[in-house]
A = this chain, B = another copy of it.
């Protein structure tokens, strides 16, 4: 938490960013991991240049959501605990360097015939607020045959199981699950892609890339300093998202507490990451009347105000009825069904991204939302809501979940330590 902000290397032409002597929202509860060298600075919309890697929690959770994503899931091929720990140590060292804008290996000279330690495509680029957030899938603890792979199965968190099959899921195994995950977020996609590539390279022989996902635009704000972005339905998304500045709510809904799971105390200070690849039926949506789109969402498109009235941040009123006696917030509207008041008061910290990956053979866009949420307990905060949404949400006519994964995200990394150290100690 006490890392100084690292000056960026010289940027490239038009896209280079000013070096701001800005350190950011490091003081608010729950924002550990955000570079906070200048102490209790107010959260503003000025771009911080580098996020601290070490801290109480992993960065990339409550850090203000960066613009771009490269997410990767890996299958572990290592056969010994020692080899797995070596991988995690290697990843830790590389992440500590790359998040500060330094190359993997520190740029030290190599023997003449060596491949370079760093692949090079981010040389000269600033850190671009890169965060690297690591998670452990259920398969890391026991394989498909129930075999305890690395002597850690007795410490597997109770909630760390494959997500259930939800109604209307159309999951592709090659886009789902994984033993390890890395969420790379940055304002420059080349910096995020460089990070995943170099971590994949370090993993060679110990873990293989299973699937990865690029996101080109964030669909959530995680700080009150950020404006609400839009998803590919054209609507503001995440207006009521949990924000870093809501310290007690972050503690209540994001961070695992020591008493949550006595068999997995190593996860205290960590979280769970829910990943869902949600394809959107772009073309049918685009032929739907604006009024129907707004009814399904429960908000107006331009301002994001609830249909019960007010402006974007006015709480929705679910009881108000229109002239025909129907609720202004339709019974099957997304906002109604997902609202905490209809979900036992639970909230989650969303951190999703829009994606597009070309088109299918009929010319339809392969596009949608790569949903990421951080929760303290997926059994309470995600699964019940998703069962309900998949059955009742009017938007489901335009959505198809094609990928799914759940990871336990260990706590922050101390200096000299490594990602997941509390699990292997």
Contact = CB atoms under 8 A, between A and B. Distances in A.
Given A225-B13, A227-B13, A289-B114, A301 B120 contact: yes
B190 A216 contact: yes
Interface in A115-133: 115-116, 118-124
Nearest to A362: B208
Nearest to A44: B14
A310 to B, nearest CB: 19
B361 A174 contact: yes
Given A290-B116, A359-B212, A221 B110 contact: no
Interface string A208-220: 1111111011000
Given A47-B14, A124-B230, A289 B356 contact: no
A67 interface: yes
Q: Main secondary structure on chain A at its contact with chain B? A: loop
A380 B365 CA distance: 36
A291 interface: yes
Contact of A15 (B67, B112, B216, B283): B67
A359 B211 contact: yes
- Interface centre among A13, A200, A231, A288, by most chain B C-beta atoms within 10 angstroms, is A13
Contacts of A282: 119, 197
A293 interface: yes
Interface string A8-27: 00111111100000000000
A135 interface: no
- Interface centre among A221, A223, A365, by most chain B C-beta atoms within 10 angstroms, is A365
Contacts of A124: 227, 230
Contacts of A364: 209
Contacts of A359: 209, 211-212
Interface residues of A, number: 83
B227 A289 contact: no
Given A67-B15, A234-B121, A214 B114 contact: no
A201 interface: yes
A241 interface: no
Contacts of A365: 197, 200, 209
Contact of A363 (B208, B231, B286, B361): B208
Interface string A189-205: 11001000100110010
A324 to B, nearest CB: 14
A158 to B, nearest CB: 30
Given A363-B208, A365-B197, A365-B200, A225 B289 contact: no
A325 interface: no
A15 B230 CA distance: 13
24 contacts: A10-B227, A13-B225, A13-B227, A14-B46, A14-B64, A14-B66, A15-B47, A16-B227, A68-B216, A75-B363, A113-B291, A114-B289, A115-B288, A119-B234, A119-B282, A120-B233, A189-B189, A189-B216, A193-B216, A197-B232, A200-B365, A212-B358, A214-B214, A216-B216
Which 10 A/B pairs are nearest by Cβ-Cβ distance? A120-B234, A13-B226, A208-B363, A12-B227, A190-B217, A189-B216, A209-B363, A13-B227, A116-B290, A113-B289
Interface of A: 10-16, 45-47, 64, 66-68, 70, 75, 110, 112-116, 118-124, 174, 187-190, 193, 197, 200-201, 204, 208-214, 216-217, 221, 223, 225-235, 282-283, 286-291, 293, 301-302, 354, 356-359, 361-365, 367
